[in-house]
Chains A and B, each alone.
Chain A
Amino acid sequence: MFVPCDRGGGSAAPDFKGFTLLMPAVSVGNVGQLAIDLVISTLDMTKVGYFYTDCLVPMVGNNPYATAEENSMELSINAEVYSLPSKKLVVLQIRSPFIKNKYRPFCETLLSWVKSSKCARVVLLSSSHAYQRDDEQLLGTPLRYLLTPDLEKAVGGRMKELNWKEMEKVAAYPGINNTDKVLHIPGGGITKLLFTESCSEGIQMAVLLKFCSEGDNIPDAFVLVNYLNEWLQLIKSEVSTVWSKWKIPSSWRLLFGNGLPPALF
């Protein structure tokens, strides 16, 4: 699945032992993916490889994080891996939707790669439909977290210190039987599947998600990436607002269409 970039000189495949794998779920508003774009762009991460997979719709373009003519010509595809060894961080960015019936194969292959590359933990950025919140969830913070039992032992205390809210379980049969509770993440794409598989495989995984709706999801991405930063401290956050510290990539231009024809006015 993982194909390392050919950096020339017969360099060995990158080593991710002990690294934190940060990745998005393709979910409502594409918030996780936008947040990952901010992380890669701000930390100026180096591409170290890609996923060769038949599970995602193919796409290709030029470098989405280009800052100048010289670095704008590198091809970029639908699933690429970036790394920042100084922070022991490896990031997977997914740029296209899943092909029908390919969710499970992708999750299985991904978790198998996580185990073989000996990543210490996985952090999944995701989102869920805001309109499906219950009365209690409508109040307070729209941000939630989930931890697999293995990671709960390691960082559960930190989440309590940060005063974070764990994602609530909902009744499996609302109105009929309110005692059986299940995890329900509508609009979350592969979030629930990846989380439940990680629980059963003993993988340390954290899910950070935001309730949101489709629309201009750039503010949602900033909120989610700042939430992530409260925990992982990827960038310094001593200033009360860290909005300006995240670098928007050049590929975010024209998200809502082209310029208007002058003849319209």
Chain B
Amino acid sequence: MATFFGEVVVAPSRAGLDEEEEAREETPEDREIRREIEKKRYRRRGRLRLEIRAREVDVLWTCAEQPLVCSRFIVAIGRNAAAFLSSFILDSVCWEVVGVVKLWNEWCRTSSTTNVLPTDSFCLFYRLIADPTVLLCQCSCYVAEDQQFQWLEKVFGSMQKKGLQVTILSTCPVADYKTQESTLTLVSPFLRALKTKEFQEQVCCPLLEQPNIVRDLPAA
């Protein structure tokens, strides 16, 4: 692809990574190089310290009852949605912390502590004391695409679903909203919803119009 200045650049493909770049088999030469690097690292540091990037997602439940019985699960994903819950819903009288997610990726790291600041990256689970089947999740950290499925399986795998209704709260930039008119003239913020056909209740706002989509953890 030629740019305006006449230089030729390789445009990244919308199709993503070329499979051939990614799935290249390790040749014997590559293996030898890797072994030598590992040996040097061992000799230099005096003890073996493997720099393994752990992309495991750990869900640590602090309550004794397992699996948790759940009839309502509200998930707030992203800093804005998490802040909404902190401001309007959560308090220490009616809600208790019952779990935390510990993960690491290139964008953030969460810890197993439940004592967090609003500016931290965290993912906490709360239970309504008056009705322990109502669970709430505040996820202000970014869950990477290769961790989203894991998060899903581990969180929902820990629940005993009882007529479960899930509500997902999330935000997206107005600039990403696809509409015939310019987003400059749109009155924002505004709400849109997606629902499964099993959800029979009234939705409080219009449904998300095509060609708009939702991605990442809310989509998962």
Contacts and interface: CB of A to CB of B under 8 A. Distances in A.
Interface of A: 26-30, 54, 57-64, 66, 72-75, 77-78, 96-104, 184-193, 213-214, 250-255, 257-263
A29 B149 contact: no
Nearest to B198: A6
B211 A261 contact: no
A60 B218 CA distance: 9
A60 B194 contact: yes
Contact of B18 (A96, A186, A253): A186
Interface residues of B, number: 44
B148 A58 contact: yes
A61 B11 contact: no
Interface in B167-219: 177-185, 194-197, 207-219
Contact of A75 (B13, B19, B196, B216): B196
B54 interface: no
A203 B148 CA distance: 32
20 contacts: A27-B13, A30-B14, A58-B148, A58-B217, A58-B220, A60-B194, A60-B213, A60-B215, A61-B212, A64-B211, A73-B207, A97-B16, A98-B16, A189-B18, A251-B211, A253-B210, A253-B211, A255-B211, A257-B178, A259-B182
A213 B1 CA distance: 9
A11 to B, nearest CB: 16
A261 B148 CA distance: 36
Given A258-B180, A259-B182, A61 B208 contact: yes
A214 B20 contact: no
B145 interface: yes
A184 B21 CA distance: 12
Contacts of A73: 195, 197, 207
B52 interface: no
B23 A103 contact: yes
B219 A258 contact: no
Given A60-B214, A66-B210, A261 B182 contact: yes
A61 B193 CA distance: 10
B194 A61 contact: yes
B117 interface: no
A192 B23 CA distance: 11
Given A62-B194, A62-B208, A258 B179 contact: yes
A193 B19 contact: yes
A74 B148 contact: no
B213 A59 contact: yes
Given A72-B210, A189-B15, A261-B185, A59 B22 contact: no
A186 B20 contact: yes
B144 to A, nearest CB: 9
B93 interface: no
The 3 residue pairs across chains A and B that have the minimum distance between CB atoms: A97-B16, A54-B149, A61-B213
Given A64-B210, A213-B1, A261-B182, A187 B219 contact: no
B14 A29 contact: yes
Contacts of B19: 98, 103, 188-193
B15 A29 contact: yes
B64 interface: no
A104 B181 contact: no
B18 A187 contact: yes
Contacts of B130: none
A61 B197 CA distance: 13
A29 B12 CA distance: 10
Contacts of B197: 73-75
Contacts of A257: 178
A214 B180 contact: no
A62 B197 CA distance: 11
Nearest to A53: B149
A58 B182 CA distance: 27
A97 B19 CA distance: 11
Contact of B15 (A26, A75, A100, A252): A26
Given A75-B194, A189-B19, A62 B11 contact: no
Given A29-B15, A57-B145, 8 more contacts: A28-B14, A58-B145, A72-B210, A184-B20, A214-B13, A253-B178, A258-B180, A262-B182
B20 A60 contact: no
